[in-house]
Amino acid sequence: MIRRIHLPTLSVMATLAILGGTVLAGSVMAAQGPGPGGMRGHAPGGPGGAGGPGGRGAGMALGALDLTEAQREQVRQLTQQHRAQTRALAERVRAAEEAQREAMEASPFNEQQVRVAAQAFAEAQTDMAVQQARLRSDIHALLTPDQQQQLERMQAEREARQNERRERMQQRRQGQQNP
């Protein structure tokens, strides 16, 4: 009997890559603020709103930091510069995951092939994480010390909320297991 190893699926990885791009794009949109026509129908959960891309739920809630026009332009430029690299890396992650899946499903089993494919997948994921961290760092460097402190406070608050949710979910699971 073939035993499947639970690894992130292609859809999860693609979602993460898209989410990363969406968070960055949402951050830029939020940093830009409403255009001449206002929010154009976006509700609080939409772009730049609470819980939407660029809002409190985003990786970097730039919309809440009152960026200057110069900072907004610099953020736009940085995101554009990183966009092509991020797309290329996302494709590399997708292809590496597909190669790993194929190696794992191959018959007969070839341990070396699985190891090489898994290593390539891990390297692609690592490169993507480095790229995303580099962009975050570049954007963080554009912020004033006050904005950096405010961002760090918001991130700490978000992390605390996530931990609380995680604990509640764990308690529910334990309650279901111990009726």
Q: What is the mean pLDDT of residues 138-156?
A: 93
Share of the chain above pLDDT 70, in %: 66
Q: What is the CA radius of gyration of the chain?
A: 20
Separation CA 117–CA 102 (nearest Å): 9
Range in 15-24, 48-57, 100-109 with the lowest mean pLDDT: 48-57
Average pLDDT value for residue range 63-80: 91
Q: Quick one: average pLDDT of 24-50?
A: 38
User: Is 0.85 surpassed by the pTM of this model?
Assistant: no
Is there a contact between 86 and 134 (Cβ–Cβ < 8 Å)?
A: no
